[in-house]
Amino acid sequence: MKTIALYVLLISLPLLSGCWDMREINELGLVMAVGIDKSSNNPDHYLVTVQVANPQASGSSADSSINRPETIWIASAEGKTIFEAIRELARISSQRIMWAHNNVIVIGESLARDDITPVIDFFSHNHELRMKTWMAVAKGSATDFLKAKAGMGSIPGQSLADMFRYQQFTGLDFHSNLLKVYGDFTSDTTNLLIGSLSLEQATTQAGLSKAQENTVEQIQMDGMAVFDQRRMLGYLSEDETRGLAWFLSENPNMVISVPHPSDSSESVAVEIVAVKAKIDSQLDQQTPSFSIRITGTGHIAEEDTTSDLSINDFKQQMEFLAEQQIIEEIELGLDKVLNVYKSDVLGFGKVVHSQHKQEWNQGLKDRWVQIFPDVEISVAADIEIKSSTLNQIPLRNYRRSSVIDD
């Protein structure tokens, strides 16, 4: 027994020495965001810019702010391929670049208009990178965006990822992550639709004197970029993006403002929740048409004007106005995609393939690029207003009275 116990102990000793390839956190450069541009020096080269978190800064004492290291390190390198440019970063980095924590891939506008294929190819093959990493197109140079401020956090890459996540509160939560982009890029039916970013001047420390105010460039979510296969055609504005969000977003939750039924100069804010979209396709002699139907529940979020209408009449008029507003927003986005870009980023080809598979495979698939811009699309909405606030009198109708005792 002693011999067996000794034998087991000797075998177990190597397992107690830890991981042979363990790396300390301060030896790693954790990429939080990456930007890809076409090189301005050589149009055949790529410029890769990384935003790397500094783990030493996070552990610094708040009292030693004078000598505290920067929270992020930003560096750029060029190469004939994206991989070569990233390898060039190793020549100026004191830490091993690690991609597992990357939050956002920002693509420069010039590269997006030329060909997005190399970006998708490289990052979809990167075994360290998560497929849920956000992707965005910069209105300008991606490098400029990686140097700009984003949100309220000290690490812009993390804040930018949070901004993507919180878009659900505006109803513009298109999931333009690497997984979705890769799926649409390799699809026979759907073209790419990727979130876009712009830089806006933002004033910090507002309310102080002009000399004390500080103006910085802040990253802002700004609509969507429309692609035709592998190159960008242009942008959708926020209003156009919002119109498509009614039936493209996974969990749309919108707030719309409609004219007050009793006073068109005043507005009523309506929150639309539990939104569901149904898209049906019809074929008439190999010519497809589509119908979009939006249903949801509305709640009165703000109403400052009184009305002589009964609650039921007010409710019916609000439902009609909300439905008309939704239809107008959707038609605005559809008009831009169909008549200007003529690119099926909406997945209508996917609907035909699903609902008329035989006809799709027998000819519609090969002619879809020519057919799509001319398809007819009808839009309908059915919103039910449910709100206890309909029983309340607007606050501006209340009048305070004071009683003065003699």
What is the token pair recorded at 86? 């990233």
Q: What is the pLDDT of residue 266?
A: 85
- 84 φ/ψ angles, rounded to the nearest 5 degrees: -65, -40
Q: What is the rounded end-to-end Cα distance, in angstroms, of the chain?
A: 106
296 has a pLDDT exceeding 90: yes
Percentage of residues of the chain with pLDDT beyond 70? 79
Whether the CB-CB separation of 300 and 268 falls below 8 Å is answered with yes
Strands 104-107 and 96-98: unpaired
Q: How far apart are the C-alpha atoms of 230 and 27, rounded to whole Å? A: 37
Q: How far apart are the C-alpha atoms of 63 and 53, rounded to whole Å? A: 21
pTM of the model: 0.81
399 has a pLDDT exceeding 60: no
pLDDT tens track for 84-106: 999 998 888 777 778 888 999 99
Whether the CB-CB separation of 29 and 97 falls below 8 Å is answered with yes
Secondary structure of residue 195 in the 3-state scheme: strand
pLDDT tens track for 189-247: 889 999 999 988 765 555 555 555 566 778 888 889 999 989 999 999 989 999 998 98
Whether the CB-CB separation of 72 and 155 falls below 8 Å is answered with yes
Burial category of 254 from C-beta neighbours within 10 Å (exposed 0-12, middle 13-18, buried 19 and up): buried
Q: What is the pLDDT of residue 221?
A: 86
What is the token pair recorded at 265? 């100069």
Range of weakest confidence among 35-39, 55-59, 271-275, 336-340: 55-59
Crossing angle (nearest 10°) for helices 117-125 and 178-185:
120
Higher pLDDT, 31 or 398: 31
∠ CA 40-42-48 to the nearest 5 degrees?
Answer: 65
Bridge partners for 299 per DSSP: 271
Nearest CA to 34 out of 151, 132, 134 is that of: 134
Highest mean pLDDT: which range of 109-113, 157-161, 263-267: 109-113
What are the structural domain ranges in the chain?
27-60+67-236, 237-396
Q: How far apart are the C-alpha atoms of 17 and 87, rounded to whole Å? A: 32
When the pLDDT of each residue in the chain is averaged and rounded to a whole number, the result is 81
pLDDT tens track for 299-324: 888 877 777 777 888 888 999 999 99
79 has a pLDDT exceeding 90: yes
Highest mean pLDDT: which range of 24-38, 41-55, 142-156: 41-55
Q: How far apart are the C-alpha atoms of 101 and 185, rounded to whole Å? A: 24
Nearest CA to 245 out of 176, 150, 161 is that of: 176
Integer angstrom CA distances of residue 333 from 157, 208, 232, 236, 327: 29, 41, 17, 8, 10
Integer angstrom CA distances of residue 33 from 88, 144, 358: 17, 12, 44
Highest mean pLDDT: which range of 282-291, 305-314, 374-383: 374-383
- Sheet of 263-284, strands arranged across: 254-260, 263-284, 287-303, 376-385
When pLDDT is cut at 50, 70 and 90, the band that residue 164 belongs to is confident
Q: What is the pLDDT of residue 329?
A: 94
377 has a pLDDT exceeding 90: yes
User: What CATH code is assigned to 237-396?
Assistant: 3.30.300.210
When pLDDT is cut at 50, 70 and 90, the band that residue 403 belongs to is very low
What is the token pair recorded at 402? 């004071």
Q: What is the pLDDT of residue 68?
A: 46
401 has a pLDDT exceeding 50: no
Q: How far apart are the C-alpha atoms of 351 and 399, rounded to whole Å? A: 56
Range of weakest confidence among 60-64, 157-161, 371-375: 60-64
Q: What is the pLDDT of residue 395?
A: 52
